[in-house]
Amino acid sequence: MIDVQQAEGSSAHSSQRSALPLVNTRLWNSGFLSREEQNALQNAVSPARSVGPNIDLVREGDRTDSLFIVIKGWACRYTTTKDGARQLPALLVPGDVGNLDSLMFDRLDYGVRTLTQATIVALPRDRALALAAQYPGIGRTFTWAALVENTILSKWALSLGRRSARERLAHLLCELSVRLNAGDGNESSFACPLTQEQLADALGLTSVHVNRTMQQLRNDGMVETENRTMTLPDVAGLRRIGGFDPDYLHIKSPAQTQLAE
Amino acid sequence: MIDVQQAEGSSAHSSQRSALPLVNTRLWNSGFLSREEQNALQNAVSPARSVGPNIDLVREGDRTDSLFIVIKGWACRYTTTKDGARQLPALLVPGDVGNLDSLMFDRLDYGVRTLTQATIVALPRDRALALAAQYPGIGRTFTWAALVENTILSKWALSLGRRSARERLAHLLCELSVRLNAGDGNESSFACPLTQEQLADALGLTSVHVNRTMQQLRNDGMVETENRTMTLPDVAGLRRIGGFDPDYLHIKSPAQTQLAE
DNA sequence: CGGTTCGTTGAGGCCCATCAATCTATGTGG
DNA sequence: CCACATAGATTGATGGGCCTCAACGAACCG
């Protein structure tokens, strides 16, 4: 069995090369796992594998029997209408689970696709369910993860239904800033590999309009983009624009994460 | 202890008056509960209480330590932007859980409000968590319920982001028809207490536009409304319009529901 | 019968989509 | 090293779907 304690400190910020890929993932940081449960979960996942950009981990409507956890890189869930319009119900950053639904459903009604080169581990459904039944903390962690996703999705629905393009974009950028743990005083900066078309698919807009809206935010000094890096010089202002309140993300940074028991 | 077996048959379609209010709720019908687990869950909920229309069970941002399960009547989750625009992330019909999130989070970032006179039971968070830890089927049921909600919400996001008013309305009506188990060949009919303004808040539209869109669907012979009853004379046609595919709802009708083990 | 809620209708306007072209950066093969 | 191809960002012109504002009708109710 892998001993978590031993390697934990040194690998906290380089999980992609670690033998402990789950460190700092959402499941790991739920706060419900005892050390024993962390070990059990760690031992259940497949070795990390590297995947190129724009590769489907699961296609829309496909069957799968594994959960895919993003260790490094970005991915997304995508859905399409019968006319081919695309809407992303989720952006996945390191630590996120791509398809929690596969825990319960054979068939996914969305696809999961990498956006960048990414490192992925798989957790077989059977093992996940067995662990959930055996360890209360693991079962609780799955429920918690599903509910966090639900919360994020509710906010997206609010944006899609009721916010202007400017507000939507501001809100999403604020959300990403927090989820990537990229805060630093009132300024935030993070690598954002999304094309404007991908942003548009997340925001329910066209890429043309995302472009114009982004320019407006740039002119207002709220955003700087340069070489796939997104800088938010005035996070407080951007939050005001987007009506963003970070509490809903239920983020537990590594520092806050506690072991159960 | 209440004996489920005894009363089950006779109360299948009158759960609101039964001493077994959970019969036919989403949790109950997950298919993961053994008879013992069903009993345990049943014994954990408060007595059913009747609530008037437009009453908040939980206000936006409030703390609560109970899950509210809708036994009879309709309710909704609601969220608002800072400007006061309202978006419903969920419509709740009999059997739905209003605030699964309260299982894990102290504070709700949406409100739960009745739309009609409703019968509600409460499940205290502490007891729910204890049951989930003790009975694997109950833990699994919570996760399953959260994932079903997630799926529905993903579809709503697709509608909000990428579908026209006509498509959105068609899709929602199809969804409600299935969730209410109101099918009957190619025709469907169900009591729908929603005002056009409430529909608008679910669909991310204005009530004026919902009105015009509804008229269009009526002219096309796709919808008939009369006295709070919604009739869909051509479900297949409406599904085509909305791009609706019922599989995603993961409905388990009472007939299909099986006991675990 | 007056008040309230809800549905309906009309006029006008804006936000964002659509279509299309141009520009830039990057990469690739000869 | 350049010609070329491709992906992505940018810009402009135009139009439409839906919003906004406002009024009116219909149903219900105390």
Q: Which residue has the tokens 């114009």?
A: A212
A154/B89 CB distance under 8 A: yes
Q: How many CB atoms lie within 10 A of CB B260?
A: 17
SS3 A60: coil
Q: What's the Rg (C-alpha) of chain A?
A: 18
Answer whether B141's CB lies under 8 Å from B95's CB: no
Distance from CA of B139 to the nearest CA of A (A): 6
Ramachandran bin of A61, using left for φ above 0, alpha for ψ from -120 to 50, beta for the remaining angles: left
- Burial group, residue B54, by CB count within 10 angstroms (0-12, 13-18, 19+): exposed
Q: Could you give the C-alpha distances from A83 to A62, A192, A215, B28, in angstroms and in order?
A: 19, 29, 29, 37
Task: For residue B257, name the pLDDT band (cuts at 50, 70, 90).
Answer: low
Q: Residue B169's pLDDT is what?
A: 98
Task: Record the tokens describing residue A55, joined without a space.
Answer: 């590769």
Q: Residue A183's pLDDT is what?
A: 79
User: How far apart, in whole angstroms, are the C-alpha atoms of residue A51 and residue A73?
Assistant: 9
Tens of pLDDT along B32-65? 999 999 999 999 999 999 999 999 999 999 999 9
Task: Record the tokens describing residue B95, joined without a space.
Answer: 């059997």
Is the predicted pLDDT of residue A11 greater than 60, yes or no?
Answer: no
State pTM to two decimals.
0.92
User: How far apart, in whole angstroms, are the C-alpha atoms of residue A55 and residue A49?
Assistant: 13
Tens of pLDDT along B5-41? 333 333 334 444 457 889 999 999 999 999 999 999 9
A129/B151 CB distance under 8 A: no
Nearest CA among A103, A105, A98 for reference residue A131 = A103
Q: Residue B251's pLDDT is what?
A: 75
Nearest-by-Cβ selection for A87 from B77, B86, B158: B158
Q: Which nucleotides of D are covered by protein (CB under 7 A)?
A: 7-13, 17-22, 28
Tens of pLDDT along B166-200? 999 999 999 999 999 887 889 999 999 999 999 99
> Which of A7-11, A76-80, B109-113 bottoms out in mean pLDDT, i.e. has the lowest?
A7-11
Task: Record the tokens describing residue B139, joined without a space.
Answer: 């833990």
A150/B153 CB distance under 8 A: yes
Tens of pLDDT along A178-232? 999 887 889 999 999 999 999 999 999 999 999 999 999 999 999 999 989 999 9
Tens of pLDDT along B136-173? 999 999 999 999 999 999 999 999 999 999 999 999 99
